[in-house]
Amino acid sequence: MENSAIVVASDVHKYFGHGETAVHALDGVTISFLRGQYTAIMGPSGSGKSTLMHCLAGLDRPTSGSVTIDGVEITTLDDKRLTDLRRDKIGFIFQAFNLLPVLNAEENITLPLTIAGRDIDKGWVDRLIETVGLDDRRAHRPSELSGGQQQRVAIARALVTRPAVVFADEPTGNLDSKSSAEVLRLLRNAVDEFNQTVVMVTHDAEAASVGDRLVVLRDGRICHDAASGTREQVDDLMRTTGIEAAARG
Amino acid sequence: MAALTVRGLLARKMRAVLTGLAVLLGVAMISGTYVFTDTINSTFEKVFETANEGVDVVVSGRSEFDTDTGPVTQEIPESLVNRVKDVPGVQTAAGNVEDFASIFKANGDQVKTGGAPPLLFSRPPEQFDPLDYVEGEPPASPQEVALNKGTADEEGLKIGDRVSLVGRTGREDFRISGLATFGDVESLGGATVSVVTLPEAQLLADQRGKVDSVQVGAEPGVTPQELVTRIERVMPDTVEVKTGEQVATDQSDSIKSSLSFLNILLLVFAGIAVFVGAFIIFNTFSITVAQRTREFALLRTMGASRGQVLRSVMLEALVVGLIASVLGLLLGIATAQGINALFKAFGANLPQEGLVLKPRTIIVALLVGTVVTMLSSLAPARRATRVPPLAAMREEAAAPEPPTRRRKILSWALLFIGAAAVLIGLFGGGPAGQALGLLGIGAILVFIAVALLSPRLVPPIAAAVGYPLERLRGVAGCLARENALRNPGRTAVTAAALMIGLALVTFVAILADGVKASVDDTISKDMRAQIVVLNKDGFSPISPQTGDAVNRVPGVETVSPLNTSQAKVGGVSGKPFGSGIDPATFDEVWDMHIDRGPPDVLSTLSGRDIALEKNWAEDNNFDLGDTVRMTTPVGEKPVLRVRGTYEDKGALVGDFVVTHDLIRQDFGMRDDLFEFVAVQPGADPKAVQDRIDRVLEQRFPITESQSRTEFQESITGQVDQFLFLIYALLSLSVIVSLFGIVNTLVLSIHERTREIGMMRAIGTPRSLVRRIVRYESVITALIGAALGLAVGFFLGVVTTIALEDEGFILSIPYITLIAFAVLAVIAGVLAAILPARRASRLNVLEALAYE
């Protein structure tokens, strides 16, 4: 159904540089993401998966093609409108957590609301903090939190504005397996419990198998797009598409 | 290693430039000062050489020493000219008059000189005349005058035009007969030159039958030196005989010594700017060393020795310091003109031509800039050597080390020693020079101590000044405050640089307010005269004939003159200032508070008596009845008896009071400073003042009358003018400290690149990013202002209390101090412009990927 597609990309091209040295990072990608769907994007290095996510999230502009988020065409927005759109419609989770060291956990979580100057829905924030299991860590600063805890703060921060879509860029890349599992569970939870749409770029087969849908990119094109399947199926797929599995100690 | 350093510098151009600027400005001011004063000196040398060209020997009144306002000579009888002529070997001898006379155009407008003197010369015989009459003829009749061409061109005066000259005896009318240039000297710095015939010059200078000097030309074959000896033999000992060459040297030496004060003043302020710059260099190198921890660790891992790391940082400092010094030197040469403009704006127009760049200027500028940069970066460089190789493995840059106990003790010790030095300097009762030295050293120690202690002061101040920002500006204010607190030491040193400038302006503002308050107080309480007549510029002398003219105005009861000079006193260092009063009338115009001696001491003062200022007498151990042996500027040696001491709160009369006649005759001071006017009982002072003004306008247009209120305003106006000059000079230090803020912000933002990327990604508008940076800058500036106002307040109040005896009244210029705080905020906003722009324009994706 058309109205349940939150993010729609059609024929997105992205070149870096020009002339003979131009790199064709995205070569006509058309894809849509449905509300309440948990999609994992994989692909070998240089496949264009990060570029795709940057274009979908309004962090980068495609060279041509169209991207709409919640019905808004974002490729033609100016910087101000794009910034507002990111603020109101998109949640971000980064590999490197990217919390503000000068704010405590709770303040980091509510930062997007503070920036927007919106009233803080205390009940919602409390529920999020409880969900991510940081009730006793509210007043701690990032330097006093473990990596897994920091990423949980980042997840709560991404969800606090009830965005149309959450983009997660290798969210488990910097975490041990226990923390990774916790983070993935929380994202799954967000989809199941809050009907949140999540798009995640990852190297991690474990992460990819948690999603509803797995998209594989190669040379700037989509080469696989289907339901996720089990961990073993993902591993097989990775072997056939030549994706290197994330190193795990 | 050296190549690595240079590569590093190139890679971090912005930082190198900002660091360099901190040194550059101070160096520019040092070299600018030297070039400026050297140029003036050389111009004057040229002027005096030209003026004495063709003159072999000069006979003039004896001069013992120069007063602070210049040399004083005594006029000599014109009859000496003929006695000189009779000396064998003399070919030509001519009397010469050099004085001052203001030029007025036919429409009544005065030709302004911008603080330069309006010179009046008598027309000498052709062979002595330094002027080249490029248009028209030299003055031949009493009604003719020649002007310097520069003045005439500027004022649109032509040959045949009518002008008036106003000298000591009042206004005289002339016709312009010629225009002349002064040798090949292009600019006399606003000075005007009028040349009239000798008798006319004597009339204007009020010295009929007298001349200032006799210029002598030798017969061929007679050396000037030989002629000096011959002439000396027949001259009275009240005159000096010198060669023309000697006179030229003496004259330019005298200019040099009066300029040396200016030179020192400017260098002091340049020194302050360099001192502030040192803070910034220290801070910048500290920050960058911390940021490069991993780089140093990596070098150490690969086997670089501590010495190599130290040398690499020091080499960076050397390169930055040297380049900045060279650029500073060049800027200084360029701004020597700017300094001239500054002085012109404050009413001191000095001649300047052909910039003089002495090797000394180059050496001092390069040495100061380079050495200061290297010394300031020594501590950070040593810190770089202590980075353990293991740090290469760590993720984050090292957190700032907490201040050690030793450092804490050292800081407090410095603070106490500094404060003690200030107090001993002020209250210790030592000579003025020693007191000033202690005050200066004390202030420097206090500055350094506060800077060392300020990391501990930053959190509370940041919380205090950040609180309203946070309340009013929400997230931006909160983040700004937290960012400022992230590394208190860094914020502290940045703020401390601004503190120095602000402390000094606060100090000066409080002192100036004290002076103004005491002047106001003295004039309103002690001045009995309703009117005072003085030069329009407020401080130049006026002709005593002004007093005579005013005395004839209906409604005037008494006119009492005051003249001033300086003397050398046996057993006392320095050249104390004193005044001459008319004993018969002074009590009617001024209520002097007599401390010791008979209450009527001033009205019964004889030509052999002296009254001393209370504190001066105490400091120099003079008691009633003691003998004061003086040497006057013209070499007279009056022996005076102390008859009383007085209080001189407004510093009106100075260290001693003698009779008006004594100053006039024995001190060679032919002019008065003030004419105090008491109006007749029942007469309307305003009406009398109007009548006086009409007379003055007619005959002595360089003078004006002032009521008590106007007199107060005129003196406080002069204090303000000096105050603004000091502000202007201190503004350089403040500008340097602003570069410090810019520098710290740029480096901090660099560290926070990824944070800013994240903020932008999750929807922070550019404007909010800018605002956060701006508020951080404002908070830093306000911390500097708070520290500066506090330290300046302490220094100002303590100094005022110490000077209470001298009539300083403690008066706090609250409005001014609030204005300083407001200016600090504005400065903070300005300093943030560039860093905020850089922060808001960061590319989000690159910033997120930044390590």
For the stretch A107-162, pLDDT in tens is 899 988 888 888 888 999 999 999 899 999 999 999 899 989 999 999 999 999 99
Chain B interface includes A115 (CB < 8 A): yes
Q: How far is CA B381 from the centre of its chain?
A: 37
Is the pLDDT at B58 greater than 90, yes or no? yes
- Domain containing A152 — which CATH number? 3.40.50.300
Q: What share of chain B is helix, strand, coil (3-state, %, to 5)?
A: 60, 15, 25
Chain B interface includes A226 (CB < 8 A): no
Residue of B nearest to A78 (CA): B765
Residue A189: partners with Cβ closer than 8 Å, 6 or more residues away = A131
Q: A interface mutation test: which of B762, B841, B845 has the most A CBs within 10 A?
A: B762
d(CA B753, CA A98): 11
Residue A3 within a domain: no
Question: For B700, which DSSP code?
Answer: -
> What pLDDT was estimated at residue A247?
42
d(CA A28, CA A13): 5
Question: Are B763 and A157 a contacting pair at CB < 8 A?
Answer: no
d(CA B252, CA B46): 9
Residue A42 within a domain: yes
Residue A155 within a domain: yes
d(CA B163, CA B193): 13
pLDDT band at residue B394 using 50, 70 and 90 as cut-offs: low
At A29, list the tokens.
């990608």
Question: Are B758 and A54 a contacting pair at CB < 8 A?
Answer: no
End-to-end CA distance of chain B: 24
> What pLDDT was estimated at residue B429?
67
* Contact residues, chain B, for A79 at CB < 8 Å: 766
Question: For B233, which DSSP code?
Answer: H
Residue A27 within a domain: no
Residue A226 within a domain: yes
> What pLDDT was estimated at residue B424?
84
Q: Which residue has the tokens 């909010």?
A: B768
d(CA B788, CA B734): 11
* Mean per-residue pLDDT, B212-239: 91
Residue of A nearest to B475 (CA): A114
R_g of chain A, CA atoms, integer Å? 18
d(CA B739, CA B16): 12
Task: List residues of B whose CB lies inside 8 A of any A CB.
Answer: 474-475, 479, 482-483, 485-486, 754-755, 757-766, 768, 844-845, 848
> What pLDDT was estimated at residue B473?
65
d(CA B63, CA B632): 9
> What pLDDT was estimated at residue A249?
33
Domain containing A159 equals 37-47+79-241
For the stretch B802-848, pLDDT in tens is 877 777 788 888 999 999 999 999 999 999 999 999 899 888 888 88
Min Cα–Cα distance to chain B from A29, Å? 21
Count, residues in chain B: 851
> What pLDDT was estimated at residue A248?
39
Residue A146: partners with Cβ closer than 8 Å, 6 or more residues away = A179
d(CA B714, CA B705): 11
ipTM surpasses 0.90: no
Contact assessment for residue B150 and residue B157, using Cβ atoms and an 8 Å cutoff: no
* Contact residues, chain A, for B758 at CB < 8 Å: 92, 94, 98-100
> What pLDDT was estimated at residue B604?
92
> What pLDDT was estimated at residue B11?
66
Is the pLDDT at B400 greater than 60, yes or no? no
For the stretch B102-126, pLDDT in tens is 899 988 888 887 767 888 999 999 8
Cα separation values, B602 from A215, B608, B610, Å? 107, 12, 9
> What pLDDT was estimated at residue B431?
67
> What pLDDT was estimated at residue A2?
42
> What pLDDT was estimated at residue A246?
47
d(CA A17, CA B734): 45
How many domains does the structure of chain A reveal? Answer: 1
Q: Please state, for a pLDDT cut of 90, what percent of chain A lies above it.
A: 43
For the stretch B611-656, pLDDT in tens is 999 888 988 899 999 999 999 998 889 999 999 999 887 778 889 9
Chain B interface includes A114 (CB < 8 A): yes
pLDDT band at residue B346 using 50, 70 and 90 as cut-offs: low
Residue of B486, B755, B763 lying closest to A112 (CB–CB): B763
Using alpha carbons, select from B485, B487, B491, B492 the residue that is nearest to residue B449: B492
Is the pLDDT at B381 greater than 50, yes or no? yes
Q: Where are the alpha helices (DSSP H) in B590-707?
A: 614-619, 660-666, 685-699
* Burial of A241: CB neighbours in 10 Å, binned 0-12, 13-18, 19+: middle
Is the pLDDT at B579 greater than 90, yes or no? yes
* Mean per-residue pLDDT, B444-453: 86
Among B93-107, B200-214, B290-304, where is mean pLDDT lowest? Answer: B290-304
For the stretch B561-571, pLDDT in tens is 999 999 999 88
> What pLDDT was estimated at residue B549?
92
Among A39-48, B208-217, B404-413, B513-522, where is mean pLDDT lowest? Answer: B404-413
Q: B interface mutation test: which of A83, A103, A113 has the most B CBs within 10 A?
A: A83
For the stretch B244-291, pLDDT in tens is 999 999 888 888 887 888 888 889 899 999 999 998 999 888 888 888
Question: For B805, which DSSP code?
Answer: G
* Mean per-residue pLDDT, A60-77: 92
**Global confidence as pTM:** 0.82
Contact assessment for residue B728 and residue B339, using Cβ atoms and an 8 Å cutoff: no
Q: How far is CA A15 from the centre of its chain?
A: 22
> What pLDDT was estimated at residue B851?
57
